[in-house]
Structure 1
Amino acid sequence: MNDSSWGAPPQAGFGGPPEMAPVQGRTPAGPAYDGPAAQETRPMQVVPEAPEAGPDQDDRGAGTAPSGGPLFRDELPQEPMPTPTPEPPQPSRKKRAGRDLRAAIGVGVGLGAVIIASLFVVKAAFVGVIVVAVVVGLWELTSRLQEQKSIKAPLVPLAVGGAAMVIAGYVRGAEGAWVTMALTALAVLVWRMTEPPENYLRDVTAGVFAAFYVPFLATFVAMMLTADDGPQRVLTFLLLTVVSDTGAYAIGWRFGKHKLAPRISPGKTREGLFGAVSFAMVAGALCMQFLIDDGSWWQGLLVGLAVAASATLGDLGESMIKRDLGIKDMGTLLPGHGGIMDRLDSLLPTAPVVWLLLVLFVGS
């Protein structure tokens, strides 16, 4: 609201007669019209917006003040009032969810359908699903490393070696996976030699880390699949990891108050960890009793406990990577989830844990 909307009387500098200045009971919008003050305001005739240059000295009692004078006195108390300070607790509670639930559920159901169909129709088709996930995950990881840290981990030998690693693990077991891992690391060292030697050690170190972190850990899923009840083992592994994540999310969102690792992942709480352990242990007992040949419920309790621990550590591990890179998600390929690596963060470190426990409990 400007001064003209208040119907101010004519002033000096706007063509009004000087006789009107000292009229009593009227509050001019310009400077006070006492004798000396009137002389001071005459140069303001050339200024287009004289009301912004002079205050009403009768009310202020000061020489200069911001424009608006006493005409805006009734608006002064309203300025601090509109500030929306009491609302922050509600958004912060909702942000703890961390993602769009509708999109996340839709994408999760779609991925689950693909996984189930490939698992129980043709085992080799599920190996192809693992290979695709590994290659896309490597692409996301190496892209973020180069964008945020200028680290050039060579993608071509990583993608080829990673795909070969998963297939070798499925065909030749752990021995084939280790041999392919060593060859992939060697290929990374040689491939990087085609570029200048600056930052060579940094780039190849990141490349070897990426080879171990993504394809080598994913190979244990392919090795689970080779057992007679392989599809059931893989399904148990996936269910326990998803249930652990869901339990942590649900209990942490509803009851979470005590931070688990605030410097790494502020959204995670101790209550959420308790939910992950509880949900995973119950699901583990059910899966081992009804899905795994020769399995028993007490073994499932131990498997569920181990899954909750490894999934939480895996999630925290990728949170460390993303914090170091200064990013929120590894990608945007999966709406509501982020990238492929944002879904593999709990699965990758959990795969060798479940594989080992199943071998110990029921054999290979």
Structure 2
Amino acid sequence: MNDSSWGAPQGAGYWGTPEMRAAPAGPAHDVHDAQQTRPMPIVPDVPDAGRDAQSRDDRDREAAHVSGPLFRDEKPQEPMSTPLPPPPQKKRAGRDLRAAIGVGVGLGAVIGVSLFIVKAAFIGVIVAAVVVGLWELTSRLQERKGIKAPLVPLAVGGAAMVVAGYARGPEGAWIAMALTALAVLVWRMTEPPDGYLKDVTAGVFAAFYVPFLATFVALMLTADDGSWRVLTFLILTVVSDTGAYAVGWRFGTHKLAPRISPGKTREGLLGAVAFAMVAGALCMEFLIDGGAWWQGLLLGLAVAASATLGDLGESMIKRDLGIKDMGTLLPGHGGIMDRLDSLLPTAPVVWLLLVLFVGSG
């Protein structure tokens, strides 16, 4: 085998030497030339499958590295866990307790001084509370319902009602009540007739609800031990409200009248009854001349019932008006009417039971 069998002779181009091109074609020579002049096939570069898979893995690792932490001390973010529910909050009072206590102590001091020094001064305190209460009630009626109950005859007649009850007894209170209702009817006639019926109806209601019921406090004061009777009335009402609030806030779970006052509970009512009965027994035994402890138990039970009904009654009025408080005069309490709500219906109850137990004295 010679060297020509591996390819073209030295110096030959792509088509061979000039002698080769000039040589006659022949069968044997054609085969030999075909073997020596056949060009080398061009084979395209075919990527290796394993190497390509490896390069893809490398690219994935590089992408993962790029998308990972930029610095060595960074930690990859962990998936967010389910947030924990907020811790249960403690029950809180709905009002400013410090302000309420401060105002209550101030009112108690005014009442105590006027009640035991000069009885007439306490009558002035009742009149002032009645006039402010009437102003709050008539203002809210006009603002929320467009009802114009005439304030002037109500205020004058209400003050006269309290004074007449103290000076002339129940007969004087009834006469003043009738005259006040008549004054409301006449006063409203000075305005157009539209809304007359609803205005005078609201006026007569306000006259009965605020000053007439307050007159029974003045009637209690006319007795020889009148100051102690009024003090017993105030203590029992306040203790009933306090017992209802304390027990209901701590243990209340069953609603008493959810459509009227959602905050009141049956447990609170039981607390009011228990606190008022204990206070009633103590007051009748040590403050009222001729009183007995068992009478105090009945008195406390009646006060708890009347105070609760009075509170629910004003809550009904405020719900109809769409308001929370009747006023803002007393910080932590609302308005004067928000403090008179349980006192007003309780006054005739205490007056009547004390007359039955120990006389009008």
Q: Same fold (TM over 0.5)?
A: yes
Q: CA deviation at 1:99?
A: 1.3
Give the 3-state SS of the residue equivalent to 1:195 in structure 2: coil
Q: CA deviation at 1:98?
A: 2.3
1:90 aligns with: 89
Amino acid of the structure 2 residue aligned with 1:290: F
When residues 146 and 77 of structure 1 are mapped into structure 2, their CA distance, relative to the original with a 3 A threshold, is farther
Deviation string for 1:128-180 (max 9, x for gaps)?
Answer: 00000000000000000011111100000000000000000000010000010
Q: Give unpaired runs (5+ residues) of structure 1.
A: 1-23, 27-73
Q: CA deviation at 1:236?
A: 0.1
**Please, which of 230, 245, 253 is the counterpart of residue 257 of structure 1?**
253
Distance 2:187 2:130 in 1: 20
Q: Give unpaired runs (5+ residues) of structure 2.
A: 1-61, 65-76
Amino acid of the structure 2 residue aligned with 1:236: T
**Please, which of 221, 224, 232 is the counterpart of residue 220 of structure 2?**
224
Amino acid of the structure 1 residue aligned with 2:359: G
Give the 3-state SS of the residue equivalent to 1:245 in structure 2: helix
Distance 2:286 2:329 in 1: 35
Deviation string for 1:11-60 (max 9, x for gaps)?
Answer: xxxxxxxxxxxxx949xxxxxxxxxxxxxxxxxxxxxxxxxxxxxxxxxx
Specify the structure having the higher radius of gyration (Cα): 2
When residues 326 and 75 of structure 1 are mapped into structure 2, their CA distance, relative to the original with a 3 A threshold, is farther
Distance 1:75 1:322 in 2: 54
**Percent identity among equivalent residues?**
85
Distance 1:75 1:104 in 2: 51
1:167 aligns with: 163
Give the 3-state SS of the residue equivalent to 2:342 in structure 1: helix
1:207 aligns with: 203
**Please, which of 127, 142, 145 is the counterpart of residue 146 of structure 1?**
142
Give the 3-state SS of the residue equivalent to 1:330 in structure 2: coil
Distance 2:302 2:85 in 1: 44
The 5 A counterparts of 1:85-164 are 86-87=86-87, 89-90=88-89, 93-94=91-92, 97-164=93-160
Amino acid of the structure 2 residue aligned with 1:287: C
Amino acid of the structure 2 residue aligned with 1:127: I
Give the 3-state SS of the residue equivalent to 1:90 in structure 2: coil
Distance 1:98 1:157 in 2: 36
The 5 A counterparts of 1:273-288 are 273-288=269-284
Counterpart check, 1:185 vs 2:181 = yes
TM-score computed with the length of structure 1 as normaliser:
0.77
RMSD: 2.0
Q: CA deviation at 1:75?
A: 11
Amino acid of the structure 2 residue aligned with 1:299: Q
Counterpart check, 1:316 vs 2:306 = no
1:293 aligns with: 289
Distance 1:264 1:90 in 2: 25
Q: CA deviation at 1:77?
A: 5.0
